[in-house]
């Protein structure tokens, strides 16, 4: 049986969702068309992902990056241009999507949300975020990212060729929203040229990668073949790839996923056991069997929270008797001295 707090929480959540939808339905139309938000299509996206992949993925709101500080701009630690908008991403278990898309066409925004969610789910199935690509140099990691983006998109179109037009629309929107090539420094400009060629479909010479591990090896080889290494003194930063709606981001795997993966590996006595884990779902409440809660043996239970205090006792009474005899003897001697 559910607790009273859980019933109130679920009722409040359903009431809030109902009121929000009712408000959107009957509120007056604004002067400018409102952009489509993730909350309006989240349920349909979850149903789509469950139908296509047979799995339910948790949808989260992607947060925009922190704005660069004044000191950071002065000292130029991060090369320009810097990303300021939220982009889709995955950590291998969940999917992050932007809160809203600043597109007046709501039908186009809904199609873009579908493609973003499907691409991220395909990257989860490939294991793109769980490989050891973070040990690569920054430019090789950027190439790995591009190889995985292209491989996941190719597998998606093989299974669902009807989304080809939506994929092309996402590529066109991502290409139009990228900063001009002149805004990139000389060290990042060759990589940006490759990204733009991929977006418009001109980079057909990029080989396909069957697995993320093969993408790591291929990224290191292509880095030398394409000559993307910057000259001495060129600054590329830790993230040379300018992420957008099409490229997305590969986030660090969650601690819970690492614990789950570690639980399936052989036992290692030198590895410390995790102190806490996150439940996948709420615990199932089992119904009590007949007369289970009416046991006659049930009663108050006392738990000792600390260790008992040690007691020095003499169960035979020997020390107590000896002390009593000694005390009486000294008392007798004191009385005799007073009498004399």
Q: What is the pLDDT of residues 92-126, one digit of tens each?
A: 999 999 999 988 899 999 999 999 999 999 999 99
Taking a C-beta distance cutoff of 8 angstroms, is the pair 88, 96 a contact? yes
Residue 339, pLDDT > 80, answer no
Residue 325 within any structural domain of the chain: no
The pLDDT score that the predictor gives to residue 317 is 56
Express each pLDDT in 15-38 by its tens digit: 998 898 888 777 766 665 568 899
Round to whole Å and give the CA distance between 125 and 51: 14
The pair of three-digit structure tokens given for residue 333, joined into one six-digit string: 């001697």
- Flag whether 337 is in a domain: no
Distances (CA, A) of 231 to 184, 185, 190, 292: 15, 12, 12, 76
Question: In this structure, what token pair is assigned to residue 256?
Answer: 């819970």
Q: Confirm whether 320 is domain-assigned.
A: no
Looking at 273-326, which runs of residues are DSSP E strands? none
- Residue 244 CA to residue 174 CA, distance in Å, equals 6
Mean pLDDT of 299-307: 63
pTM: predicted TM-score of the whole model, two decimal places: 0.66
Mean pLDDT over 147-155 rounds to 94
- Residue span of the structural domain in which 210 resides: 30-249
Is the pLDDT score of 185 beyond 90? no
H helices, E strands: number in the chain: 10, 4
Structure-model confidence comparison of residues 304 and 152, the more confident one: 152
Residue 328's pLDDT band, with cuts at 50, 70 and 90, is very low
Question: Is 212 a domain residue?
Answer: yes
The pLDDT tens digits of the residues spanning 232-262 come to 556 787 788 999 999 999 998 865 554 444 4
Spatial distance between the Cα atoms of 195 and 151, rounded to a whole number of angstroms: 14
Q: Assess contact for 92 and 132: CB atoms under 8 A.
A: no
The per-residue pLDDT for 62 is: 92
**Which among 258, 225, 279 is positioned nearest to 130, based on CA atoms?**
258
C-beta separation of 277 from 256 below 8 A: yes
Q: Take residue 106 and report the two structure tokens written for it.
A: 């709501």
Please give the distance of CA 217 from its chain centroid, rounded to a whole number.
26
**What pLDDT is stored for residue 65 in this prediction?**
85
Tokens matching residue 140? 């090789």
Question: Which of 131-135, 253-257, 328-332, 333-337 is most confident?
Answer: 131-135
The rounded mean pLDDT for the chain is 79
Contacts with 321 (C-beta within 8 Å, 6 or more apart), sequence order:
none
Q: What is the total count of domains within the chain?
A: 1
Confirm whether 326 is domain-assigned: no
Q: Does 295 fall in a domain?
A: no
Task: Pick the more confident residue, 72 or 119.
Answer: 119
Whether 311 is in a domain gets the answer no
Residue 284 pLDDT = 58
- Residue 331 — very low, low, confident or very high, per pLDDT cuts 50/70/90? very low
Is residue 324 situated within a structural domain? no
On whether the CB atoms of residues 91 and 257 are closer than 8 A, the answer is yes
- Nearest C-alpha neighbor of 258 from the set 62, 92, 61: 92
pLDDT at 304 over 80: no
């Amino acid at each position: 049986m559910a607790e009273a707090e859980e019933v109130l929480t679920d009722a409040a959540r359903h009431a809030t969702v109902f009121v929000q939808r009712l408000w959107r339905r009957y509120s007056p139309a604004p002067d400018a068309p409102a952009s489509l938000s993730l909350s309006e299509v989240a349920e349909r996206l979850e149903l789509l992902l469950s139908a296509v992949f047979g799995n339910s993925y948790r949808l989260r709101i992607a947060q925009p990056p922190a704005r660069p500080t004044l000191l950071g701009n002065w000292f130029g630690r991060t090369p320009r241009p810097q990303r300021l908008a939220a982009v889709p991403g995955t950590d291998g278990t969940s999917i992050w999507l932007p809160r809203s898309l600043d597109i007046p066409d709501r039908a186009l925004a809904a199609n873009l949300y579908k493609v973003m969610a499907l691409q991220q789910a395909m990257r989860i199935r490939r294991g793109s975020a769980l490989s050891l690509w973070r040990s690569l140099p920054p430019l090789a990691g950027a190439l790995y990212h591009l190889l995985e983006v292209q491989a996941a998109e190719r597998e998606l179109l093989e299974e669902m060729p009807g989304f080809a037009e939506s994929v092309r629309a996402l590529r066109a929107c991502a290409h139009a929203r990228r900063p001009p090539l002149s805004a990139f420094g000389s060290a990042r400009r060759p990589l940006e040229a490759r990204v733009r060629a991929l977006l418009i479909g001109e980079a057909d010479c990029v080989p396909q990668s069957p697995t993320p591990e093969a993408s790591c090896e291929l990224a290191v080889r292509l880095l030398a073949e394409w000559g993307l290494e910057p000259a001495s003194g060129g600054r590329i930063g830790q993230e040379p790839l300018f992420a957008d709606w099409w490229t997305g981001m590969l986030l660090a795997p969650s601690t819970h996923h690492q614990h789950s993966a570690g639980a399936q590996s052989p036992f290692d006595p030198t590895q410390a056991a995790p102190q806490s884990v996150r439940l996948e779902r709420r615990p199932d409440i089992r119904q009590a069997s007949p007369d289970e809660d009416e046991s006659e043996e049930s009663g108050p239970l006392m738990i000792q929270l600390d260790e008992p205090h040690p007691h020095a006792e003499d169960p035979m009474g020997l020390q107590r008797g000896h002390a009593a005899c000694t005390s009486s003897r000294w008392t007798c001697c004191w009385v005799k001295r007073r009498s004399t």
